[in-house]
Amino acid sequence: MPDKLNNEFLRDIATDWYSQGSQNRAPNFVDVLRMQQERSRVTGFNDPKIQRIARGLLEAEHRGTNPEFNKSDMYIRTKHRKAPGGSSAYGPGQITMNTAKDILNRGKLSPEARKYIAERFIPAGKLMLRHGNEGPGRGNKSWFDPTYDYGGQAGLNVEAEYPLYNELWAATIDRKLRDAGVTADQVLDGSGRDAFLSKYYKKGNRGGYDPAFARGIVPEKKPSAFMTAALLNRMSPKPKGMQ
């Protein structure tokens, strides 16, 4: 790889392009823009605006932990034990069993996501509520399983299922936007943010979430697609070492 490609992003774009095998030219502006968008997309989210809102929620829910989409340690039950009757909030978006039931009835979902919610997510939520209040120092029941306790993985930390969780999350955001009567654009520009967050979180449950959400939705800074294409074109047709 040439020394010119000392920027990690630039190296990644070049590698993506030339590893396709059939390329005999450097990528142009449109090619680079497309690759930037593909690299930014998280499987399970089809709308980049919904994904940005999810990124804000991720920051709000897991602030101080360097949260990332599809990161294994995000796939746990909430550690908050004080909810009356227990909480089944789970995963990067801290989606509850009851919310999942609502989305199963009113959300836009693929057949695969519907099956995941009905056969995996909701049954796990029931087990969370059964086991979560019965651990050491609480119920001390002989059948207690810490897998479903607060902070436990609840049997749902399966990498192959992350896209299905993300689809549930995207459908949840879409449903809450509709319930709030605002658009994704209004949430992102601030005018509809309070209405949306008031639907996503229970009343009085927002704490310090708002500023964290605002940090999370800031667009990721990337090198200009135009400048990236210009630099790569200087090495046309193909950088030495990437034959």
pLDDT tens-place string over residues 98-127:
999 999 999 999 999 999 999 999 999 999
For residue 22, what pLDDT band results from cuts at 50, 70 and 90?
Answer: very low
* Rounded CA separation 103/164 (Å): 13
Question: What share of the chain in percent tops pLDDT 90?
Answer: 43
End-to-end CA distance of the chain: 10
Task: Provide the residue type at 81 as one letter.
Answer: R
Question: What share of the chain in percent tops pLDDT 70?
Answer: 65
For residue 242, what pLDDT band results from cuts at 50, 70 and 90?
Answer: very low
Q: Which of 1-15, 33-47, 229-243 has the highest mean pLDDT?
A: 33-47
* Rounded CA separation 161/155 (Å): 11
Specify the pLDDT at position 224.
53
More confident residue, 9 or 214: 214
Retrieve residue 86's tokens: 């227990």
61 CB-side CA count, 13 A: 26
For residue 20, what pLDDT band results from cuts at 50, 70 and 90?
Answer: low
Q: Is 99 helix (H, G, I), strand (E, B) or coil?
A: helix
pLDDT at 132 over 80: no
As a whole number, mean pLDDT of residues 226-230 equals 54
Q: Which residues pair with 90 in a beta bridge?
A: 77, 95
More confident residue, 14 or 128: 128
pLDDT tens-place string over residues 37-89:
555 567 888 898 999 999 999 988 887 677 888 888 899 999 887 776 688 99
More confident residue, 38 or 217: 217
Q: For tokens 């396709």, what's the residue?
A: 20
More confident residue, 34 or 164: 164
Q: Is 169 helix (H, G, I), strand (E, B) or coil?
A: helix
For residue 26, what pLDDT band results from cuts at 50, 70 and 90?
Answer: low
